[in-house]
Amino acid sequence: MTDVCSTLFAIGQVSELIDRREALRSDPAWRQLLQDWGGRFDRAGSDGMMEYRVELYSAPAGPGKIQPTRETGNWRTYDATDGLGSGFVWDVFQDRDGYIWCTCYGGGVARFDGHTFQKFTTKEGLAHNEVACGFEAADGRVWFGTEGGISVFDGERFETMTTEHGLPHNEVADIIPGRGRRHLALYRKRRQPLRWYELSQPRQQ
């Protein structure tokens, strides 16, 4: 169920997915649960029920996490057991020092040096642990769009901007790098269209 929880079911063929999806749609108990949760978590759609998806999720079979592929080497899968904040990764990007950054839904951000992950959450000063996006600005600072505002990491600490500092909304869906000291931010306000705003970088302190 979107943004709230997920469940994995093992299936042998695609037809089983279709059968399970149709069974859920016609299940009165399932529909009642969606109505209850839609109101409880403020995720109700136009029909009054929480939105949900039944989709295919594929993962390497067998022991281990390294899956060989023909002519392209190996795939290596990382998850929370390796140090990621969660298994739900919104965005991945690399900074000028070679670090790989992963923004996680509910798990903050994680910086990967090729061997281990270092996690950053609200305990380290991040605005919110639900992080949708990130990028490195021209000055080397790393920007993150979260559900609690925008956080900027200078290598040592986070500086955060929220509605108290002039942001129109705290739920930031994306930040588009601009030229110089200005960038564009996309905000997602529930049941309203995405809107564009322009913002300046926070001042150095």
- pLDDT tens string 124-147: 999 999 998 998 888 888 999 999
Gyration radius of the chain's alpha carbons: 20
C-alpha distances out from residue 194 to 36, 57, 132, 185, Å:
27, 28, 14, 10
pTM for this entry: 0.61
> Domains in the chain and their CATH numbers?
1-58 (no CATH), 80-200 (2.130.10.10)
C-alpha distances out from residue 54 to 8, 10, 57, 162, 176, Å:
10, 12, 9, 35, 31
Are 6 and 12 a contacting pair, CB within 8 Å?
Answer: no
**Residue 29 class from Cβ within 10 Å (0-12 exposed, 13-18 middle, 19+ buried)?**
exposed
Reported as a pLDDT band with limits 50, 70 and 90, residue 192 is: very low
